[in-house]
Amino acid sequence: MRKDKGQIINEIMVQFTSLAENVALSRVLTSSVVTHWDITISQLEDLKVAVSEAVSNAIIHGYENQKDGMVSMRFLCYETYLLIEIKDEGIGIENIQQAMEANFSSDKQRMGLGFSFMKMFTDELEVTSEVGKGTTVLLGKKMPAVKGKE
Ligand SMILES: Nc1ncnc2c1ncn2[C@@H]1O[C@H](COP(=O)(O)OP(=O)(O)OP(=O)(O)O)[C@@H](O)[C@H]1O
Ligand SMILES: [Mg+2]
């Protein structure tokens, strides 16, 4: 995944507790990081949806809504690319391929669309997971060249 993106120009790491209200925090963090680039409001909205889905999954599924887990977010900023890593140390995913299928959910009450939104609203999506150890979701999104720079 990380090939040919050039040099990392900024790296930001944040950790927060697995509280539902921190989904909103993850959206605000994403908005702040993205101010570096001149992206449209709708592109930013898309990215925030993808991030919220990954962070909600970490809290709801990874930590099964327990409030004592830690979720970490890492932003890797390249000249024209943004990678966002969302990581939990929760229960992990047994079958990643099945989990990523549209409409699959381990919870009957849910739609099973989180991964579909992540795929739809990013340019790259990579999921790694180990049962009992946790899950890492990597979201990649192309960014426009910053004005005044070549
Ligand atoms: N971080 C995670 N840790 C453990 N299991 C996960 C994690 N993320 C996703 N899963 C598993 O993958 C399934 C599919 O996730 P997805 O986000 O697509 O749907 P959902 O969360 O079930 O429903 P929705 O996102 O529509 O509310 C989940 O039901 C869950 O079983
Ligand atoms: Mg989900």
Closest ligand, as measured to the CA of 110: 1
1 pLDDT higher than 80: no
Q: What is the 148 CA–ligand 2 centroid distance (Å)? A: 39
Residue range 105-118, pLDDT digits in tens: 999 999 999 999 99
Q: What is the 46 CA–ligand 1 centroid distance (Å)? A: 18
In the predicted model, what is the mean pLDDT of residues 9-31? Answer: 98
Closest ligand, as measured to the CA of 62: 1
CA separation for the pair 9, 103 (Å, rounded) = 37
Please provide the average confidence, as pLDDT, over all residues in the chain.
95
CA separation for the pair 79, 36 (Å, rounded) = 10
Residue range 35-76, pLDDT digits in tens: 999 999 999 999 999 999 999 999 999 999 999 999 999 999
- Amino acid in position 23: V
Residue 4: predicted pLDDT: 82
115 CA closest ligand 1 atom index: 18
DSSP 1: -
Show the domains of the chain with their CATH numbers: 9-142 (3.30.565.10)
